Structure formats: C-alpha cells, structure tokens
Amino acid sequence: MIQRCTTAHIAPRTAWLGALALVAALGLAAPAAWAADTSPSPSAAPDKLAAARDLIQQDKWVAAIEELKRVDDRSSADWNNLMGYSHRKAKVPDYAAAERYYNEALRIDPKHKGALEYSGELYLMLNQLPQAEARLAVLDKVCMLPCAEYTDLKSAIARYKANGNSYVAKP
C-alpha cells in the first residue's frame, strides 16, 4: 500500500529538520568536541606550587613558606593565597602576614574563592564578624551554585555565632 504525502505529513517533518539544522548550526549536536577541550593540554606547564601544596597537605607550614619563598611568584593569586594560608595555620601564626597575602591575592583576582574563604576564616579568628560576612557575600556572588568555599565559610560563621562569637576550628 502506497501512502500519499500530504501537507499534514510534510509540515511536521520540515519543522523537525529545521530544528535539527539549528541545533547543528549552534554546535549543540557535538558535545564530544566540547568535552575534548575541557581536558588539560599535554603541553601545559607543570604546577610550580605543587611542592608547597604537598607540604601544606602534611601540615609543614614553615617548610611550605620556605618553598613558596623559593618559588617567589608574588604576581600569582594562588601563591599569595597559599602564603596567607600557611602563615595563618603555622604553629605560631602570623595573622598580619596572612591578611596581607590574602588581600594581595584578592587584589590580583577579586574572585579568588580560596582567598575569600580563608580570609573570612581569618576575620573570624580576629573577631571581625562583619568582615567575614562581607567575604561570604562576595562568595555568594562568585559561586554559580553553592561552592565548597561558600559552604565552608558559611559553616564557620554559624559555628562562630553558636559559640558566643568565638572562633571554632572546623571539626
């Protein structure tokens, strides 16, 4: 049995083909090409902060500071953030140095999530709740969805308030 093509059969097919052409034109039909662009380039430079990060993971704060001084990448927001973090976490913390490094990281990159979170925690340690809440407000705008840095600082502020406005380290 031969079926006749009527306008009623052609119109939906034409609309469907038009939509398919639009999807292809916008590049939405090729997710594999997009995914290939998300992987790091094989020629990417090695992480010059890797050794410092390893020392930080081991809670070797003085050694991490020495390694960061050796690398001396003061124009890097990540470098400044790690210096601030190491000074804040050291056995004998240097909060003034930590604040200087965090502020420099944020001068270089005002949206640096790590520096925003860690400086917020520093402000809680210094009993400066309004500054910590200001950092949380910036993180709220920087994070598209709740990110770990936002969640961690929000929890730190909640612990601070629940403990009578006194800093409580993360459990």
Same domain, 92 and 139: yes
Contact by Cβ (8 Å): 68, 55: no
Looking at the domain assignment, is residue 169 inside a domain?
no
Range of 13's domain?
Answer: 7-34
Same domain, 69 and 94: yes
Q: Give residue-wise pLDDT tens across range 81-135.
A: 999 999 999 999 999 999 999 999 999 999 999 999 999 999 999 999 999 999 9
- Does the predicted model carry a pTM greater than 0.75? no
SS3 content of the chain, % helix, strand, coil (to 5): 70, 0, 30
In terms of Cβ atoms closer than 10 Å to its own Cβ (0-12, 13-18, 19+), residue 156 is buried
The two tokens of residue 120 are 């917020």
Same domain, 62 and 144: yes
Q: What are phi and psi of 68, to 5 degrees?
A: -65, -40
Looking at the domain assignment, is residue 39 inside a domain?
no
Same domain, 134 and 55: yes
Q: Which of 52, 57, 56, 53 is nearest to 70 (CA)?
A: 52
The two tokens of residue 35 are 């995914």
Domain count, the chain: 2
Same domain, 12 and 86: no
Q: Give residue-wise pLDDT tens across range 28-71.
A: 333 333 233 334 445 578 899 999 999 999 999 999 999 999 99
